[in-house]
Amino acid sequence: MGATAFLYILLSLWVQDAAAILGFTRSDFPQDFVFGSGTSAYQYEGAVAEDGRRPSFWDTFTHAGKMPDQSTGDVTADGYHKYKEDIKLISDTGLEAYRFSISWSRLIPNGRGAVNPKGLQFYNNIIDELVKHELVFSLYVCGGLVG
């Protein structure tokens, strides 16, 4: 069993158990309440040296050994390669929405000037996949340190 399938099963069991333990169901929420999930580009995408992405502030920070466990965002959840599987899991789990952020060092690698066509295509692909699965999405554009 792949790691993705295992996580899906684990999440499904947790959601079912949490509802039973906490004593609530979907009908306990307003009809227009939207259940969703989200990711942060630096913590999710990985692929730090692919398709024109340049180092971000966070890459510089973590590669300087500043993290207690010496971790970096080089691989992370590998969402750059697995976003289709992940979006399918979001849909299959019954969630209705997805919020994500942009890695500006992937979209505009030099910080100013030209947009990286491969970076733009990546985010367009994510949006296309979200639309395919009929998920509401929102793009978190700013906040904290840019990654």
Is residue 17 in a domain? no
| Distance between CA atoms of residues 110 and 117, nearest Å | 13
Is residue 110 in a domain? yes
Is residue 13 in a domain? no
Name the residue among 37, 43, 119 with its Cα closest to residue 76: 43
Is residue 31 in a domain? no
Tens place of pLDDT per residue across the chain (147 aa):
566 666 555 555 555 566 666 677 788 889 999 999 999 999 999 999 999 999 998 999 999 999 999 999 998 999 999 999 999 999 999 999 999 999 999 999 999 999 999 999 999 999 999 999 999 999 987 655 444
Residues in CB range of 43: below 8 A, 6 or more apart: 73, 76, 77
| Distance between CA atoms of residues 147 and 144, nearest Å | 9
Residue 97, domain extent: 37-140
Total structural domains within the chain: 1
Is residue 4 in a domain? no
Is residue 101 in a domain? yes
